[in-house]
Amino acid sequence: MKLDTQSFTFNLDSIHKNSRMTVQEDCYDTFEVQQHIRQRWHKEKDELLARAYWASEQKQNFALQQLSSVVDYAFENIPFYHEFYSSHGYETGALRSIADFKRLPFLNKGILRSIKIEDFMPRNVSKHSPGMFWSSTSGSSGVALPIMSDLDSVSNNALNYYRMFQQLGGGEFSPDRWIYNIHHIRSWTSSMCGDFPTFTLNDIADPEEFVRHLELLRPIILNLLPSYLPVLEPYSTRIAALGMKAIITNSEASSRHEREYYSTLFKTHVLDEYSSEEVGIIALECPYRHYHPDLDQVYVEFEEIAPAGGEASLASVYCTDFLCRTMPFIRYDHGDIVSIGGHDNYQCKCGKHGRTIERVEGRKDDCLKTLGGHYVPTAIVTNTLDSYFNASPHVESFRLIQRRDISEFDFLYTGSSIDLVEISVTTLAAELKRLLKMDINVKAVRVDSLPATASYKRKKIICEA
């Protein structure tokens, strides 16, 4: 019988009310699917954990086999890919090296929006085929994309999350320990037939009751949007006393400065997960502040576009979910920009090998622009904003907007009167002028609340230019 993890509310009213929603993963969160994932976890756990620490050559050899397999499968079975790759001269069996793979064209949301969903599915599968599960992207770029998965796809994705929890939890990640998830989605099952239970909350309506709930469940991992971190700051002593192994942030932009600040406050690692609905986990930040792609699940490519300062470079990121056979995203451009570091033979202090992501800069549309159309890394600007305003007693929330005239900026904030924040905004303007290498004007605008974004996610920076 399936464990009802959402029933563990302990008669806390706000917890009960904010845990009644459905999440899109409920369509496959059955006892049978949980049993399948549990069996695979016991069988494959050791190999999954070992693969995360493979040397770069092992990763590349494994990836090449998987890439060749998924490209041939897509070419032979999915109408869109057959036409798309045929127009570029591809034939079955032609992918024999990573160089061959990199000659294939990129895929992006613009292309996907122009085709029928049936053409992005295998010919022998329909929208209503049994054993298929539907989800969608958040629609943060304007239009949500429907995504179809089968049992293999959802179990592969869930196992990758359980591997992440195991890596963070270590020997303390035992079957009786809770995972606490504050989000509108849950990318894994609510438990494995009772093992590794997850409680999902869609919002923190009453922080006091929420912290009390944490104290009752005593989770080993807390997964949340970074915009909840300031809400929990007044309860830092009680949260630190729980001894959680990690707090994972995702879905919204957060800066290294912010995560390091809350790591100290909550006395645990606050680490960022870079992922997407299309392909799952792309990379996880390690305690040494490097993001490591796990190339045994998703093949990640970087195309450098500009230096980012120091030893890092700005790059576009392209992902291939090579284990998927329902709707494989191959050489897929999320529209993100990252700062990259390391090299193929680099080994981090955490033990992982290969190139690293140093910062997730965000969507290209969110990066600030300078004269000549160049990008400025969003994370650098976010770090600057956080250093000025995160601990300010006069600013509760804020957003920096670059207007169509790229020299004009509005600093929207909630909090005290403008005269109490003007000095900080003037100092911020001087720092932005240095970063952008051009004259700018920053106007402080006090508002009752920050306008909601299209995806309802927190955005500290918006570029309208």
CATH number for position 236: 3.40.50.12780
Q: Are residues 378 and 260 both part of a single domain?
A: no
Query: Which residues, in sequence order, are bridge partners of residue 386?
Result: none
**Hey, what are 365's tokens?**
């549309």
Which tokens go with 51? Answer: 């693969």
Same domain? For 349 and 457 the reply is: no
Long-range contacts, stretch 46-53, CB < 8 angstroms, 24+ apart: 48/159, 48/160, 48/163, 48/296, 49/163, 49/166, 49/167, 51/294, 51/296, 52/163, 52/167, 52/294, 52/296, 52/352, 53/351, 53/352, 53/353
416 shares a domain with 330: no
Residues 271 and 163 in one domain: yes
Tokens for 421, please give them: 């924040």
On whether both 223 and 126 belong to a single domain, the answer is yes
Is 403 in the same domain as 257? no
Instruction: Give CA–CA dist 64/296, Å, rounded.
Output: 10
The pTM of the full predicted model, rounded to 2 decimals, is 0.82
d(CA 376, CA 189): 38
Same domain, 163 and 81: yes
- For every residue of 184-205, DSSP letters joined together read S--SS-S-BTTBS-EEEES--S
Compute the chain's Rg from CA coordinates: 23
Same domain, 359 and 372: no
CATH assignment of the domain containing 401: 3.30.300.30
Contact at 8 Å (CB) between 51 and 285? no
Per-residue pLDDT of the chain (465 residues; tens, 9 = 90+): 899 999 999 999 999 999 988 887 888 999 999 999 999 999 999 999 999 999 989 999 999 999 999 999 999 999 999 999 999 999 999 999 999 999 999 999 889 989 999 999 999 998 888 889 888 775 554 456 788 999 999 999 999 999 999 999 999 999 999 999 998 888 899 999 999 999 999 889 999 999 999 999 999 999 998 889 989 999 999 999 999 999 999 988 788 999 999 999 999 999 999 999 899 999 999 999 999 998 999 999 999 886 655 566 889 999 999 999 999 999 999 888 899 998 989 999 999 999 999 988 877 666 788 887 777 766 678 878 888 887 788 998 899 999 999 999 999 999 999 999 999 999 999 999 988 889 999 999 999 999 877 655 678 888 887
| CA atoms of 377 and 341, how far apart (whole Å) | 14
Point out the domain boundary residue: 365, 380, 403: 365
Q: Is the dihedral of CA 204, 209, 211, 215 positive or negative?
A: negative
Domain count along the chain: 2
Q: Domain end: 323, 347, 365, which one? A: 365
112 and 213 share a domain? Answer: yes
Give the CA distances from residue 31 to residues 133, 355, 380, in Å, rounded to whole numbers and listed in that order. Answer: 15, 39, 45
User: Which range marks the domain in which residue 152 is found?
Assistant: 5-365
Structure tokens belonging to residue 71: 């490209």
Name the token pair of 331: 């050489």
Q: Are residues 313 and 388 in the same domain?
A: no
Q: Do 392 and 346 share a domain, yes or no?
A: no
